[in-house]
């Protein structure tokens, strides 16, 4: 461990009461064992620094109290003696250096939490705006297709064929007299795209409901999506929750 620098205090008389100059000189001479002539000259021409190094704060308080009792003013300064330190040593100190403030890290964490909260609010508002305005749409109606853009049609289909249902696409593939492998590839492709779109729709609606459990339109769309995916149990659960909402007149 590196040696600790010793500290000491110095006392300076900044203002002297001329009416108490003689008494103060005699008292400091006997108290501090200072030469009377030098002490007298110093007090006559303030500020005067007492040529003594005080080791403790108690000594400083005692001598300052005696000087102030004579109507004088003093100034105290604390000093550190670094002569005992090894300046050329490469070893680090004992940890006396101030540690960096943790405020920048805390501020950065708070900013990240605030940004995350704003993103959640923005997504919730966006999900509410994307849902239809009519809360009384028929629960037995066929759900609309996924809001995502349909996949690029194969070369043998025209651009108007992109809105065909899966059954119509399979019929068109049969009409083209494709090979079994080609028909299987196209069937799996569109089936995978449809399942992926439905799964994304379920995730989107689930997030909207978690943000606002009383979102009637989100529950209604979730019920339709489960019906389309053939998940009857999930569809019944969603339909039961939809039935709990009050009937709003159109």
Does 120 lie in the same domain as 27?
Answer: no
The band of 164, judged by pLDDT with boundaries at 50, 70 and 90, is very low
The secondary structure element, H or E, covering residue 115 is helix 103-130
Does 187 lie in the same domain as 135?
Answer: yes
In a domain, 64, yes or no: yes
Check residue 2 and give its pLDDT: 46
Does 113 lie in the same domain as 211?
Answer: yes
The dihedral formed by the CA atoms of 121, 125, 130 and 136, expressed in degrees to the nearest 10 = 120
In a domain, 224, yes or no: yes
Question: If you search the block for the tokens 């019944």, which residue do you land on?
Answer: 236
Q: Is the peptide bond before 80 cis (omega within 30 degrees of 0)?
A: no
In a domain, 177, yes or no: yes
CATH number at residue 64: 3.30.1390.10
In a domain, 98, yes or no: no
In a domain, 56, yes or no: yes
Does 161 lie in the same domain as 65?
Answer: no
In a domain, 66, yes or no: yes
The total number of structural domains that make up the chain? 2
The band of 124, judged by pLDDT with boundaries at 50, 70 and 90, is confident
Does 131 lie in the same domain as 32?
Answer: no
Does 113 lie in the same domain as 77?
Answer: no
The band of 201, judged by pLDDT with boundaries at 50, 70 and 90, is confident
Does 110 lie in the same domain as 67?
Answer: no
Most confident of 78-87, 127-136, 150-159, 194-203: 194-203
Does 225 lie in the same domain as 141?
Answer: yes
Does 36 lie in the same domain as 127?
Answer: no
Residue 181 domain boundaries: 105-243
In a domain, 20, yes or no: yes
Residue 139 pLDDT greater than 50, yes or no: no
Does 119 lie in the same domain as 77?
Answer: no
Residue 84 pLDDT greater than 70, yes or no: no
Residue 238 pLDDT greater than 70, yes or no: yes
Does 178 lie in the same domain as 54?
Answer: no
Report the DSSP beta bridge partners of residue 8: 79
In a domain, 87, yes or no: no
Q: Name the E strands within 33-84.
A: 48-49, 73-81
Burial bucket for residue 222 (CB in 10 Å: 0-12, 13-18, 19+): buried
Does 223 lie in the same domain as 131?
Answer: yes
- Single pTM value for the model: 0.32
Alpha carbons 120 and 124: distance in angstroms, whole number: 6
């Amino acid at each position: 461990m590196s040696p600790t620098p010793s500290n000491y205090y110095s006392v300076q008389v900044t203002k002297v009461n001329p009416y108490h100059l003689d008494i103060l000189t005699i008292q400091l001479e006997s108290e501090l064992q200072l030469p009377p002539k030098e002490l007298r000259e110093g007090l006559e021409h303030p500020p005067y620094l007492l040529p003594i190094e005080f080791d403790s704060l108690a000594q400083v308080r005692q001598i300052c109290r005696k000087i102030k009792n004579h109507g004088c003013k003093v100034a105290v300064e604390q000093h550190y003696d670094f002569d005992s330190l090894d300046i050329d040593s490469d070893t680090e100190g004992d940890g006396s250096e101030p540690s960096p403030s943790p405020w920048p890290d805390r501020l950065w964490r708070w900013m990240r939490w605030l940004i995350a909260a704003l993103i959640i609010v923005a997504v919730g508002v966006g999900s509410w705006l994307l849902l239809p305005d009519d809360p009384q749409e028929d629960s037995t109606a066929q759900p609309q297709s996924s809001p995502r853009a349909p996949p690029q049609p194969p070369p043998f289909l025209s651009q108007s064929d992109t809105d065909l249902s899966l059954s119509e696409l399979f019929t068109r593939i049969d009409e083209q007299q494709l090979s079994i492998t080609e028909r299987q590839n196209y069937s799996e492709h569109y089936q995978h795209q449809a399942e992926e779109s439905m799964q994304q729709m379920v995730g989107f609606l689930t997030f909207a409901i978690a943000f606002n459990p009383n979102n009637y339109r989100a529950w209604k769309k979730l019920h339709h999506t489960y019906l389309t995916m053939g998940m009857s149990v999930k569809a019944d659960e969603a339909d039961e929750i939809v039935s709990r909402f009050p009937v709003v007149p159109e």
